[in-house]
């Protein structure tokens, strides 16, 4: 019973620390008095917790505010340079790694080639080397690196650091995170890459303060990240958001997942390029016949130059995408859809028809007030999103943590 009481006291203490830290992070600069008022904690409790944070370097005092009759309040703010995290975007051909501060500001990033290497141990070795280089080249104090986040396409079980299925690498039930965590002696969080962007949007982007929104990414593949009631939604096995693999055309073109007629096989960037090649092979007149290499960039350029095939293909991909998004709208009824990824470069040739299709196929009234934002996102943005996964864990309440990351212990 004594042990239970101590455990409860320790948990309450950690919850209080987390409340104070998150108020400083989200509301700072903020006074101790305001923290006590907003949190319901006593001023003495807040002052004691703040003193610990200041001693560790995690929080700093800054200027005095206006007096309301007593002593002038001293404001507190998070020291964003007190710690750093590394985010990794794992792709088929390359790894983008970025080092950020506690505010997710990218301080340094680099790109490392994978050279068609899909062996699990080899990829893990390349990730380790890329993170080592990122830390060394950024010249930050290695002891201040608090964790590593890795984003990759596929079904990811972040709770145990496993990739359950990767259509690009051909992995099934592969433990990705632990060998990297063992090397660095740091927590490593594995997450679906679209989910990492969604977490970043929720923290710092258009999704901040929005209770119901979806991030849709278009590029090499098509995916979705989901926030419902202000909570990020992963699903039972971490596979929520495999939006690109809803079937829209029975017996349609083959998809990388092994099925046919998926949205991704109809509307992704590689799908548009395949459709262009097929049209050229059939003798359709187009300036794309001279394009070398034939890429989405070339198709977009041809559309700008009034090429009818290029415009039709981009519009078709937009309509398929809009039909898929309408399904999301009908199921989830979000306030906001954020569309990102490398495929955003196609602009209104793709997204004009997409918006029309959303309106045409969404259930009556559900899309009337829906906001759709098109947001470019390069590889650095994806890596920043992976870093946000780590930051989310660092600032998460201990009530929700399977294995608590003690910022104070790391900072000591």
Rounded CA-CA distance 387/100 in Å is: 7
Whether 374 shows a pLDDT value over 70: the answer reads yes
| Judgement on whether residues 24 and 123 belong to the same structural domain of the protein | no
| Judgement on whether residues 270 and 142 belong to the same structural domain of the protein | no
> Which pLDDT value is given to residue 404?
45
| Judgement on whether residues 216 and 354 belong to the same structural domain of the protein | yes
Question: End-to-end alpha-carbon separation of the chain, Å?
Answer: 31
| Judgement on whether residues 212 and 193 belong to the same structural domain of the protein | no
Rounded CA-CA distance 268/255 in Å is: 10
| Judgement on whether residues 369 and 407 belong to the same structural domain of the protein | no
Q: Which of residues 56, 78, 100 is at a domain's end? A: 78
Calculate what percentage of the chain has a pLDDT beyond 70. Answer: 92
Rounded CA-CA distance 354/398 in Å is: 42
Strand order in the sheet with 162-166: 155-157, 162-166, 171-175
> Which of 172-186, 224-238, 378-392, 393-407 is least confident?
393-407
pLDDT-based confidence at 411, cuts 50/70/90?
Answer: low
| Judgement on whether residues 126 and 246 belong to the same structural domain of the protein | no
Whether 10 shows a pLDDT value over 60: the answer reads yes
| Judgement on whether residues 248 and 353 belong to the same structural domain of the protein | yes
| Token code pair at residue 154 | 């596929």
Q: Which of residues 40, 57, 78 is at a domain's end? A: 78
The DSSP line for 40-107 is: ---HHHHHHHHHHHHHHTSEEEEEE---SSSSPPEEEEE-TTS-EEEEEEE-SSEEEEEEEETT--EE
Rounded CA-CA distance 358/175 in Å is: 38
> Which pLDDT value is given to residue 376?
82
| Judgement on whether residues 188 and 220 belong to the same structural domain of the protein | no
Q: Which of residues 28, 53, 78 is at a domain's end? A: 78
User: Which ranges constitute the DSSP H helices of 211-307?
Assistant: 263-267, 269-281, 296-304
Whether 88 shows a pLDDT value over 80: the answer reads yes
Largest pairwise CA distance in the chain: 84
Rounded CA-CA distance 135/215 in Å is: 30
CA 371 to chain centre: 20
Task: Residue 343: name the closest of 245, 249, 267, 243 by CA.
Answer: 267
Contact predicate 346/111, CB 8 Å:
no
| 186: CATH | 3.30.420.40
> Which pLDDT value is given to residue 65?
56
Looking at the DSSP assignment, which residues form a beta bridge with residue 150? Answer: 88, 190
| 17: CATH | 1.10.10.10
Mean pLDDT of the chain: 88
List, for residues 199-208, the tens digit of each pLDDT value. 888 888 899 8
Task: Residue 33: name the closest of 79, 2, 64 by CA.
Answer: 64
pLDDT-based confidence at 64, cuts 50/70/90?
Answer: low
> Which of 37-41, 47-51, 282-286, 400-404 is least confident?
400-404
| Judgement on whether residues 140 and 235 belong to the same structural domain of the protein | no
Q: What is the domain extent for residue 30?
A: 2-78
Rg (CA), the chain: 24
| Token code pair at residue 410 | 């790391």
The domain tally of the chain equals: 3
| Judgement on whether residues 229 and 349 belong to the same structural domain of the protein | yes
Whether 83 shows a pLDDT value over 60: the answer reads yes
| Judgement on whether residues 245 and 359 belong to the same structural domain of the protein | yes
List, for residues 115-161, the tens digit of each pLDDT value. 777 889 999 999 999 999 999 999 999 999 999 999 998 889 888 99
Mean pLDDT of 28-36: 90
Identify the DSSP state of 211. S
CB atoms within 10 A of CB 331: 12
| Judgement on whether residues 250 and 124 belong to the same structural domain of the protein | no
Q: How many residues does the chain have?
A: 412
List, for residues 39-61, the tens digit of each pLDDT value. 899 999 999 999 988 988 888 99
């Amino acid at each position: 019973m004594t042990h239970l009481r101590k455990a409860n006291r320790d948990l309450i203490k950690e919850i209080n620390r987390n409340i104070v830290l998150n108020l400083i992070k989200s509301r700072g600069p903020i006074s101790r008095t305001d923290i006590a008022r907003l949190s319901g904690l006593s001023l003495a409790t807040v002052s004691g917790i703040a003193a610990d944070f200041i001693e560790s370097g995690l929080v700093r005092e800054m200027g005095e505010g206006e007096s309301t009759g007593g002593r002038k309040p001293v404001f507190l703010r998070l020291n964003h340079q007190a710690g750093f995290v590394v985010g990794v975007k794992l792709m088929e051909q390359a790894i983008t790694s970025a080092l950020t501060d506690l505010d997710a500001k990218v301080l340094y990033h680099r790109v490392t080639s994978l050279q068609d290497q899909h062996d699990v141990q080899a990829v893990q070795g390349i990730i380790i080397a890329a993170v080592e280089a990122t830390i060394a080249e950024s010249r930050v104090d290695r002891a201040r690196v608090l964790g590593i986040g890795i984003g990759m396409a596929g079904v990811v079980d972040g709770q145990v650091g496993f990739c359950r299925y990767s259509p690009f690498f051909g992995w099934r039930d592969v433990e990705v995170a632990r060998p990297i965590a063992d090397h660095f002696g740091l927590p490593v969080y594995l997450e679906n890459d679209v989910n990492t962007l969604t977490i970043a949007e929720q923290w710092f982007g258009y999704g901040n303060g929005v209770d119901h929104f979806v991030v849709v990414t278009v590029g090499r593949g098509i995916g979705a990240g989901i926030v419902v009631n202000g909570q990020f939604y992963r699903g039972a096995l971490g596979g929520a958001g495999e939006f690109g693999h809803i079937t829209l055309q029975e017996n349609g073109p083959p998809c990388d997942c092994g099925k046919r007629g998926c949205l991704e096989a109809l509307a992704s960037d590689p799908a548009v390029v395949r459709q262009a090649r097929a049209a050229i092979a059939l003798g359709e007149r187009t300036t794309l016949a001279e394009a070398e290499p034939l890429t989405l960039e070339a198709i977009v350029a041809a559309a700008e130059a009034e090429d009818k095939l290029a415009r039709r293909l981009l519009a078709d991909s937009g309509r398929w995408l809009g039909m898929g998004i309408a399904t999301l709208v009908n199921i989830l009824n979000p306030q906001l859809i954020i569309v990102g990824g490398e495929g955003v470069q196609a602009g209104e040739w793709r997204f004009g028809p997409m918006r029309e299709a959303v309106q045409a196929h969404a259930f009556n009234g559900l899309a009337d007030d829906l906001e759709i934002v098109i947001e470019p996102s390069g590889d650095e943005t994806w890596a920043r999103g992976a870093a946000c996964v780590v930051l989310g864990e660092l600032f998460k309440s201990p009530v929700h943590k399977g294995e608590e990351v003690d910022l104070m212990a790391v900072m000591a």
